[in-house]
Amino acid sequence: MITIDKLTKYYGSNRAVNNISFTINDNEILGFLGPNGAGKSTTMNMIAGYLPMTAGTVTIFGSDISKDPVAAKKNIGYLPEIPPVYPEMRVKEYLSFCAGLKRIRSSERKSEIIRVMKLLKIEDVQDKLIKNLSKGYKQRVGFAQALLGNPKFLILDEPTVGLDPNQVIEVRNIIKDLKKEHSVIFSSHILSEVSAVCDRVVIINKGDIKAVDTIENLEKKLGGSLTLHVKIKGDRIKASNVIEFIDGVDEIVSIDAEGNDFFSFAVKLKEDAGDDTKNAIMSELIGHGIQISEIYTEKPDLEAVFVDMINRSSDKHGLLELLEETPPEAEDGADSESDESEEKEGEE
Amino acid sequence: MFSIYKKELQSFFYTPFAYVITALFMFLFTIMFNNALGNLEQPVLQFTFPDIFYNVIFFFIFLIPILTMRTFADERKFGTEVLLMTSPVGVIQIILGKYLANLTVFLFMIAGSSFFPIFTYLNGTLVMSQLICAYIGFFAWGAMFIALGMLISSFTENSIIAAIIGEIIMFVFLFIDDFSRTDFIMQYPKLQSFLYAFAAQPRFAYFSQGFIRLSDLVFFLSAILICLSWNYIAIERRRWKRG
């Protein structure tokens, strides 16, 4: 088990990682999710023992990374964001050097190198100079390096960046297979990837942990409620008044204007709401003379969870705030939408 | 440590690098050797290798930074420093592995230069004791400058800058004893003795005269140790200060 406890990193007076704690269990793939610049790579560098931490501890299978680095690092395979390859070396030479660095017994080195090359399908480039390889191949060579010696704990920093869709699927499958014998922490800013591969997710933003949970739980936590999308033609304020007072509607999450008189509403429904609410909204809207061009309900997905989590502090809730953001047409229709009105005048 | 040593050697010897730098070194040696032969006026041809070494060193300081410039700068540039630092190898071992590899290339260069004494030996007589002492002194001097060059390489990401700064600093060190004997510095005896303490040239002079003095060996050895320890500190310090 890997324990990360109260890990903090300051760059000068800038706080990059703030007091984060989580654990990675044996045979688990933990997704590490966050937007760019959230502190993912910094955290991973600290876990791998490359960057010293300002405060906190990282314990890898019982050895503290800062107190007993050599013992801790023996259990780590690390693929940094930029694959750490020497452009002047051949793939096989490079892997053999890495095997030496990781103190793999010389009798086992050859078979070990062949094993990882097979796993990542880089046997056909083994005699090429790394500088002549494509980004995807370099990435896979870097990955192969991390797998050498079969370390129990793998740290993969965006391992699928730069790969083509086929390779992405291959690499994901490799990561899934790794679960049998390894603990994996795997960072990404791509949501679908994390939900495809990981058991649990840590969501981080601006150095703070926003959530640590399984994907299903996160989806549930968001309310487990459906979101109803409805696209209407007609008066926006009238429509929103209608929608808001229907049973089963929790709140209107967003209203987007889409061209002439078309508005898309995203409506959060209450947990027990279902098709009845949808039907009620449809009939009420039509009853008020508002045309509906599109209506469908959507389950909350990881993306919604993610966006919600990272924006939590600056989130806008409720219709009032939304209306404040976009002033009613009655007041400024003449000014801000002057382009439109000019066109209309021209037509007339 | 051995794997780092081996990898560094590969990077020198699998590429033309080590051969080119040795060829360049031998070329410099040839010029000096030729000069020594050309300056002969006595009926009996007589010249000393230490003198040649002495002249070679002046050009030699341009080669050492080229040898050492990539040591740490390239690791940073390619992001492979992460690989070294996250593998179960200590920083001291990394530095020693790289230092030994650089020394090996240096020995290879020296071995190339042995062509000239051998040539002389076949066609005349050679004062062995002096030659051996000069070689020891030359090696010590080179070993010190390699440690210095590696230190400078760990300060920057750009190997060319590492080479240029290295050349400037080595140039200063080469002429520090001449500088300390200028009239201006002579006015301040304390400053003079301080500067003179850094001068490697007079120490090499003892070697070239056939003396192996403990104090000279200690001088070179301690300079190497200081540079390598500083190297260690520089690498660790950058890890802590990064960002």
Mean pLDDT value across residues A127-155: 89
- The amino acid at B40: L
* A97–B7 C-beta distance less than 8 A: yes
The whole-angstrom distance between B163's CA and the closest CA on chain A is 20
Q: How far apart are CA A50 and CA B235, in angstroms?
A: 11
What does DSSP assign to residue A242? H
Predicted pLDDT at A304: 65
- Which residues of chain B does A47 touch, with a Cβ-Cβ cutoff of 8 Å? none
Conformational region of residue B47, where left means phi above 0, alpha means psi within -120 to 50, and beta covers everything else = beta
Neighbours of B105 (CB within 10 A): 20
Predicted pLDDT at A235: 82
Residue A68: is its pLDDT beyond 70?
A: yes
CB-based contact, B239 to chain A, within 8 Å: yes
B51, two tokens: 């003198």
pTM above 0.90, yes or no: no
Per-residue pLDDT of A207-222, as tens digits, reads 888 888 887 777 666 6
CB-CB contact of A163 with A139 (8 Å): yes
The alpha helices in chain B, defined as continuous H runs, are 2-13, 17-38, 49-68, 70-77, 81-85, 91-113, 115-123, 128-153, 159-174, 176-180, 183-186, 189-197, 201-208, 214-241
Per-residue pLDDT of A149-172, as tens digits, reads 888 899 998 888 878 888 888 888
* B239–A52 C-beta distance less than 8 A: yes
The A-side interface with B (CB below 8 A) comprises 11-12, 14, 16, 42, 45, 48-52, 69-71, 73-74, 76, 78, 80, 82-89, 93, 97-98, 100-103, 145
Tell me which of A47, A50, A130 to substitute to probe the interface with B (most B C-beta atoms closer than 10 Å): A50
Strands A249-257 and A227-233: unpaired
Tell me which of B8, B80, B86 to substitute to probe the interface with A (most A C-beta atoms closer than 10 Å): B86
Which range has the worst mean pLDDT, A176-190, A216-230, B119-133? A216-230
- Which residues of chain A does B87 touch, with a Cβ-Cβ cutoff of 8 Å? 73, 98, 101-102
Handedness of CA A186, A97, B76, A142 (dihedral sign): negative
Tell me what the pLDDT averaged over chain A comes to: 80
Per-residue pLDDT of A97-130, as tens digits, reads 999 888 888 888 899 999 989 888 888 998 999 9
Predicted pLDDT at A323: 47
* B3–A97 C-beta distance less than 8 A: yes
> Which residues sit opposite B53 in a β-bridge?
none
Strands A153-157 and A291-298: unpaired
Q: How far apart are CA A262 and CA A83, in angstroms?
A: 48
The alpha helices in chain A, defined as continuous H runs, are 40-47, 69-73, 91-101, 106-120, 135-147, 165-178, 191-197, 215-221, 236-244, 275-287, 302-310, 318-325, 329-332, 338-347
CB-based contact, B16 to chain A, within 8 Å: no
Mean pLDDT value across residues A188-197: 80
Tell me which of A70, A85, A96, A97 to substitute to probe the interface with B (most B C-beta atoms closer than 10 Å): A97
Residue A315: is its pLDDT beyond 50?
A: no
Neighbours of A155 (CB within 10 A): 29
Closest by CA to A268, choosing from A320, A327, A318, A218, is A318
Tell me which of A17, A86, A127 to substitute to probe the interface with B (most B C-beta atoms closer than 10 Å): A86
- Please name the member of B11, B89, B90 whose beta carbon is closest to the beta carbon of A88: B11
CB-CB contact of A313 with A320 (8 Å): no
Predicted pLDDT at A267: 83
Q: How far apart are CA A331 and CA A342, in angstroms?
A: 17
Q: A129, exposed or middle or buried, with CB in 10 Å at 0-12, 13-18, 19+? A: middle
Residues in chain A: 348
Predicted pLDDT at A221: 67
Mean pLDDT value across residues A58-83: 88
Q: What is the ipTM of this complex?
A: 0.81
Residue A223: is its pLDDT beyond 80?
A: no
- Which residues of chain B does A100 touch, with a Cβ-Cβ cutoff of 8 Å? 2-3, 6-7
Predicted pLDDT at A162: 76
- The amino acid at B7: K
CB-based contact, B172 to chain A, within 8 Å: no
Mean pLDDT value across residues A33-41: 83
The whole-angstrom distance between A75's CA and the closest CA on chain B is 9
Mean pLDDT per segment of 10 residues, for chain B of length 243 residues?
87 88 88 76 64 78 88 88 88 92 92 84 80 87 92 90 90 84 82 82 82 89 94 88 63
Q: How far apart are CA A315 and CA A304, in angstroms?
A: 13
- The amino acid at A95: L
Conformational region of residue A150, where left means phi above 0, alpha means psi within -120 to 50, and beta covers everything else = left
Q: How far apart are CA B176 and CA B78, in angstroms?
A: 36
What does DSSP assign to residue A53? P
* A74–B239 C-beta distance less than 8 A: no
Predicted pLDDT at B39: 67
Q: Which residue of B has its CA nearest to A10?
A: B243
- Which residues of chain B does A85 touch, with a Cβ-Cβ cutoff of 8 Å? 78, 80
* B89–A51 C-beta distance less than 8 A: no
Which range has the worst mean pLDDT, A62-76, A234-248, A249-263, A307-321? A307-321
Q: How far apart are CA A16 and CA B242, in angstroms?
A: 12
* B3–A101 C-beta distance less than 8 A: yes
What is the edge-to-edge ordering of all strands in the sheet holding A262-269?
A249-257, A262-269, A227-233, A291-298
Q: How far apart are CA A263 and CA B160, in angstroms?
A: 60
Handedness of CA A281, A283, A284, A285 (dihedral sign): positive
- Please name the member of B3, B80, B90 whose beta carbon is closest to the beta carbon of A100: B3
Q: B206, exposed or middle or buried, with CB in 10 Å at 0-12, 13-18, 19+? A: middle
